[in-house]
Structure 1
Amino acid sequence: MTVKKILIVKPSALGDIIHTIPIVNAIKQNYDAEISWVVSRPFMNLLEHTPVVDKVFVFERKKWGGMRFFRYFGEILNFLLKIRAEKFDIVIDFQGLLRSGIITLLSGCKHRVGFKSAREFAYWGYSQKVETPKNVVHAIDRYKLIAKTLGVCEIKMSFPLNRDLALEQKWDNVLPSDYIVIVPGARWSSKRWPPEKFAELTNIIHRKSELPVVIVGSPSEKEISLQVINNVQKTDKCINTTGETSLIELAYIIKRANIVVTNDSGPMHLAAALNTKTIALFGPTDPERIRPYGDEHVVLQGESLCQCYYQKTCSFDLECLRTISPQKIIPLLGL
């Protein structure tokens, strides 16, 4: 079968999209096919700056969700009709949820691929269901199974991005030549190493070296970053970019960094994908499943057992994360 057009259904989240890009890149190269991608609006910027993706279909999750489905039914129908009009040769659902399964089913494509273990009955939308052995744990290794099913066995873990000279010049004027990035935020509050711990780490870095610290995060994490800044002694050696960057700008800042210290978050996966050494702090989530991919990265977990396993909020004052001391991180920074 000649494959000219492939649709990827992976609307969110940032870390999951980052995991998927190298796999899709290998599939694209193998088939020499045009790649389209269904993605939620907050993550569109990243896909627009990678040569892996030729066309983006924006899934307006916030706008169309819940009872608003009926209000925007015309828009949703138009979205689906545009997908069907492309006449895709293969549609791959990497998301494995009800909404992604429906999009896959209604794409009009005969060859629809997804995981047999997909949740919310999403697997009903697939013509080809991929088994997931119990010993395959990490998300990237699971995604590789889909590629293997399509005849793509050799996958180079590259994360290609298009250069943006204007963007590079903008941040070259702001960033020092060497710096450490810290990521104090995370979508779940239970994943966040306390801001005062990040501040303590920053103070030790400044006492031991001349390295500035660059703080990154989304607009919703500005308060968290301010809590860090307010406890830092040498604020002139901190650059706070929280809420000031697009995803592609965040990627550039992380790619240039000496090292990244981060909670379990989207930027953690971005740092690993960009081959920037990453020190990841884990609390309620399982690093075997979602650790930064690659042997050069380091995972730190608390000494006490997490009692809020995979819960978005913590009822125990982040007990497990608090046992990770800044002193444990300093040697890993080479200071």
Structure 2
Amino acid sequence: MTLNNINNILVIKFKHIGDVLVTTPLFRNLRIHFPDARICASVIHNTVEMLSDNPDIDAIFPVNRRSGLWTQLRLIGELRRNRFDLVIDLSEGDRGAIVAFLTGSPCRLGYRRRRSKFMGRDLLFTDLMSSVDNDKHAVRYHLEPLRALGLPVKTEKMRLQWTDAVEEKVDRLLRERGLKEQPFVVVHPTSRWLFKSWTPEGNSAVIDFLRERCRLPVVVTCSDDPNELAVVKSIMHGVRVPVVDLAGQLTLKELASLIRKAVLFFGVDTAPMHIAAAVGTPVVALFGPSGDHMWGPWGHSHVVVSQPWDCRPCGRAGCNDSGSSRCLETIRAETVIDALSAKLRDLGFTPS
């Protein structure tokens, strides 16, 4: 592949919120290597916040998987009219490969077929990269296009931006709750996939520990999904201490602003954990069936708590796809509190 006359670039990532956030170092590197190029992204519509306001990205083309055929054809037409010189597909599925092909770009770079049942998938690209390497963190895995293009990696730092209006709203929320001038911890106990969530009893014990023994206010967050809200309600019933409950009340950008102001983030393998790593807030995260080597919080200041079981990470939706993960549920509250205590001491907060 020649890099001459690369002036218009499209990066495709049809995956979830955290998966999109970990691609931001690629955009930063593309901007460094192609400072005058137009760099665009095409992502699922509910992940756009991970890339909006990012100065490395000139335009975003959102895709709604549930939209009708006419809407999707209109998107393809719009992408073709942009006449991209280079299209990079970071998705492993067939949809991204097909969209990359239909753009008509003369240079189409994608991962080699691994799980797809579509035998001709690789033929949709002009150049191929190695498929998933589970020994490599997702941030580095998504920098593989640079190596395929013969370009050096200049930075591995994630980037998440938001507006002054978002910052002002979060400042106001904290001020109204008496937290503007004091340290606090964000506890985000849920994931959209509940098999990645710890027990309500364990979370309640952690919140009591943070408030009673560390004298740190706790802000609890989750998405507005009814299942996640139900989990948080159960946790709240088990706590002995006052908690600032912002569950289901924040956008992703507002959550990012809140997390950046916190002294610590506690949670599970979920997009807000990656947000915490991106904004530089120390993380203590619990991992069960998913692999922390590839999907753990990016950076060196974080702590992962998991069970040393031979069966993990299995990458399944709970044990035998049951929706229940024993490797996560059996983590003892005392083990988690010990990890939190050690991290908080590093940060200058000594539990009583």
Q: CA deviation at 1:301?
A: 0.5
Identity of aligned residues (%): 27
Aligned to 1:14: 17
Deviation larger for 149-158 or 265-274 = 149-158
Aligned to 1:119: 115
SS in 2 for 1:219: coil
The answer to whether the 8 A contact 2:18-2:274 is kept is yes
| Whole-angstrom CA distance in 2 between matches of 1:297 and 1:148 | 27
SS in 2 for 1:167: helix
The answer to whether the 8 A contact 2:160-2:278 is kept is no
Q: CA deviation at 1:209?
A: 2.4
**Structure 2: stretches of 5+ with no match in the other structure:** 346-350
Question: How does 1:1-335 map onto structure 2 within 5 Å?
Answer: 1-32=4-35, 33-61=37-65, 63-64=66-67, 72-120=68-116, 121=118, 122-132=121-131, 136-175=135-174, 176=179, 177-220=182-225, 221-235=228-242, 238-302=243-307, 304=309, 306=311, 309-314=314-319, 315=322, 318-328=325-335, 329-331=339-341, 332-334=343-345, 335=351
Q: CA deviation at 1:80?
A: 0.1
Aligned residue pairs total 325
Task: Give 2:203's aligned amino acid.
Answer: F
The structure-2 alpha-carbon separation of the partners of 1:252 and 1:133, relative to structure 1 and needing over 3 Å to count, comes to closer
Task: Supply the RMSD in Å over aligned alpha carbons.
Answer: 2.1
Task: Give 2:106's aligned amino acid.
Answer: K
Provide TM-score, normalisation by structure 1: 0.90
| Whole-angstrom CA distance in 2 between matches of 1:7 and 1:247 | 24
Q: CA deviation at 1:304?
A: 4.9
| Whole-angstrom CA distance in 2 between matches of 1:135 and 1:200 | 33
The structure-2 alpha-carbon separation of the partners of 1:244 and 1:133, relative to structure 1 and needing over 3 Å to count, comes to closer
Task: Give 2:288's aligned amino acid.
Answer: G
The answer to whether the 8 A contact 2:8-2:84 is kept is yes
The answer to whether the 8 A contact 2:188-2:272 is kept is yes
Q: CA deviation at 1:183?
A: 1.4
The answer to whether the 8 A contact 1:188-1:313 is kept is no
| Whole-angstrom CA distance in 1 between matches of 2:50 and 2:132 | 31
Task: Give 2:230's aligned amino acid.
Answer: E
The structure-2 alpha-carbon separation of the partners of 1:317 and 1:305, relative to structure 1 and needing over 3 Å to count, comes to farther
Provide TM-score, normalisation by structure 2: 0.86
